[in-house]
Amino acid sequence: FTSTRDCLAPVRMSSENPLLLKQQNGNLISRMDSQGNIKQVVDNEKDDQAPSFFGKTFGGSQTSWNPFRKKSGLMRVMHAQTKKNRVVSKHGKINTFSRSEKANESHRLLKDFFTSMIDLSWSWTLFSFAASFYISWVIFAAIWYVVVYTHGDLDEMKPENHIVCVDNIVDFTSCFLYSLETQHTIGYGGRAVTEECPIAVIVMSFQSIVGVVIQACMAGIVFAKFTKPTGRAETIMFSKNALITLRNGAFYLVVRLADLRPTHLIECHVSGHFMAKETTEEGEEIPYHLASMSVGSNIDGTTDYIQPFWPIIVSHKIDEDSPLYQMAPRDFQSKQFEIIITLEGVTPETGCSVQVRTSYLPSEILWGQRFEHSTVVYDKEMSKYAVSYGTLNNFLEDRTPRCSAKEYEERNGRKSSNISNSASSNSLLSP
């Protein structure tokens, strides 16, 4: 491969991405461009906000708490770089939002009430949990107050043979306490409905049914949030960089992933997408086109089904069907695209589906590197395989040619053609 490596210019480090300095002054921040000039620019970065029931934020200034989100300093730089120009962040978050002036279909979320409640933050879920009970208690307390008031139970001068609808009801406070006791079947014994008022019996029965329905719905929402597999996705690790290496005479894009839990995901499948600007033959420009990429656990990039017993390498073969087929190392410094890797599986504990994703920008794809195979070692003393996740991102430099896969195949094709022509001419000259 020496002649192939020398035929092309080496890769240059890109300086197009400006550095974000620590200094900040109100809405202005200091940025350094590629020439080293410091300029004051407006900070247009918006922090993620907790969604409301309709998928919007509660107020313009409320943000979800994040220890890595700072107004200034190194953590702000790291947080900004992880989201910059990405569709999918390194942690798998989708970097999109809906414009409030154009998203007028929020009422459709009411048709999916249960999912909308699950998507709320924990603070709003607990608030809704408590509010649903308090509101029902107050509403039925008002109903009980109307029942006893119309029956004359609250009059100071009652006839001697007057039978009340509910014993020991004297004001609205006692109606509220009786409403609470009835809905949750507490039954302290101080207040009880009598046979005098049929409407009181009907209200008591109806409130008992409503209380069971509210309790069942809220308990189901809280349980669904506990079993939501978002936390399980945090135990899936991806390598920080994707590598391009030569395997068995073909170029491959390789990524390493691992499952930290000993009870691994089952029915795991991996897929890839390539997002870039595309232009059709008719001149139609698609600014953000998502194209599928075949990714597999085999060496040749086939079989998307994987078994994450230990950190494994998934690969994408760069052939004529690959969007990376005509890209050389120098192209990764000038073109803009994003490669999204998605892992889907099922948790054996709850049976819920989990989808984990990450993305790689051109600056995060290293050419001529391969992963170091030191994550799994057999321990003879324990008779088990020792797995190390600390070496997940370790890689070594290899002798991958610094040219595109298309150019590499053309060179090999011409070389094979020359060899075959020489062999045929020698056979004709031989006696």
Q: What is the DSSP string of 147-162?
A: HHHHTTTT-SS--TT-
What residue has token string 């195979």?
373
Position 235 scores a pLDDT of: 86
Cβ-based burial of 110 (10 A; exposed 0-12, middle 13-18, buried ≥19): exposed
Q: Which amino acid is at 418?
A: N
Q: What is the DSSP string of 323-335?
A: TTTT--GGGGGT-
d(CA 178, CA 137) in angstroms, rounded, equals: 9
DSSP 397: E
Judged by average pLDDT, the poorest of 20-34, 154-168, 223-237, 286-300 is: 20-34
Which tokens go with 296?
């597999």
Confidence tier at 157 by pLDDT (50, 70, 90): confident
Cβ-based burial of 285 (10 A; exposed 0-12, middle 13-18, buried ≥19): exposed
d(CA 329, CA 299) in angstroms, rounded, equals: 22
Nearest CA to 132 out of 195, 183, 186 is that of 183
Which tokens go with 21?
């300095």
Directed axis angle between helix 198-226 and helix 122-150, to 10°? 180
How many helices and strands (H and E) does the chain possess? 8, 17
Q: What is the DSSP string of 368-416?
A: TEEE---SEEEETTTTEEEE-STTTT-EEE----SS-HHHHHHHHHHHH
Query: Half-sphere exposure of residue 72, counting CA atoms within 13 Å on the CB side?
Result: 11
Give the start-end residues of each E strand in 280-409: 285-293, 305-306, 312-317, 337-346, 353-360, 365-367, 369-371, 376-379, 384-387, 395-397
Position 81 scores a pLDDT of: 55
CA angle 30, 35, 40 (to 5 degrees): 20
Query: Half-sphere exposure of residue 273, counting CA atoms within 13 Å on the CB side?
Result: 14
Report the mean per-residue pLDDT for the chain.
Answer: 78
Q: What backbone torsions phi and psi does residue 197 show, to the nearest 5 degrees?
A: -115, 110
Position 225 scores a pLDDT of: 84
Position 333 scores a pLDDT of: 84
Q: What backbone torsions phi and psi does residue 301 show, to the nearest 5 degrees?
A: 85, 10
Torsion angle of alpha carbons 76, 80, 83, 86, nearest 10°? Answer: -170
Position 245 scores a pLDDT of: 93
Secondary structure element (H or E) that encloses residue 279, with its range: strand 266-279
Q: What backbone torsions phi and psi does residue 381 show, to the nearest 5 degrees?
A: -70, -45
Q: Is the pLDDT of residue 404 over 60?
A: yes
Q: Is the pLDDT of residue 32 over 60?
A: no
Task: Count the neighbouring beta carbons within 10 Å of the beta carbon of residue 165.
Answer: 22
Per the CB < 8 A criterion, the answer to whether 260 and 331 are in contact is no
In this predicted model, what pLDDT tens digit does every residue of 183-242 receive, in sequence order? 888 877 788 888 888 999 999 999 999 999 999 988 888 888 887 777 788 888 999 999
Helix/strand/coil for 71: coil
Which tokens go with 153?
């139970």
DSSP 355: E
Query: Residue 359 pairs with which residues in a beta bridge?
Result: 340
- Overall average pLDDT of the 161-189 stretch: 87
CA angle 315, 87, 357 (to 5 degrees): 45
- Overall average pLDDT of the 37-64 stretch: 48
Query: Residue 305 pairs with which residues in a beta bridge?
Result: 269
Position 14 scores a pLDDT of: 40
pTM of model > 0.75:
no
Per the CB < 8 A criterion, the answer to whether 83 and 46 are in contact is no
Per the CB < 8 A criterion, the answer to whether 53 and 117 are in contact is yes
Confidence tier at 48 by pLDDT (50, 70, 90): very low
Helix/strand/coil for 15: coil
What residue has token string 């197009």?
16
- Overall average pLDDT of the 128-151 stretch: 92
